[in-house]
Amino acid sequence: MDPHYTKFLAESLWDLKSSLEKIGSDLYIRVGTVAEVINNILEFSGKKKIRAIWIIREEGIEEDRDKYNTKLACYKVGADFKLWVDEKYLVNK
């Protein structure tokens, strides 16, 4: 990944986190596979119950595995799982 893009992305996420904290919310940033991140979030939540996890549906073998693992993790903790269809449109002008 381009170092300038990485720096821009990191600064943007930290600015978003700071803005959310000012209104009493937060942003948690995790790195890893989808299964690792979802399980980490569910374990990290502690006393706060995660009620639902929503993901966007993508086509592919890895994406199907991620969807399955996320759905399974939600089931284990009693959270709802929502799969959104990601509609992509190409407009030719």
Q: Are residues 51 and 12 in the same domain?
A: no
Q: pLDDT by residue (tens digit) across 8-60?
A: 999 999 999 999 999 998 887 888 888 888 888 887 766 677 788 888 877 88
Same domain, 90 and 49: yes
Read off the pLDDT of residues 57-72 as tens digits, 9 standing for 90 and up: 778 888 888 889 889 9
Tokens for 35?
Answer: 């299964």
Do residue 90 and residue 50 come from a single domain?
yes
| Domains identified in the chain, total number | 2
- Residue 43 shares a structural domain with residue 55: yes
Judge if 38 and 62 occupy the same domain: yes
CA distance 49 to 90: 39
Residues 54 and 83 in one domain: yes
- Neighbouring residues of 81: CB distance < 8 A, sequence distance ≥ 6: 52, 53, 54, 70, 71, 74, 75
Residues spanned by the domain of 13:
1-30
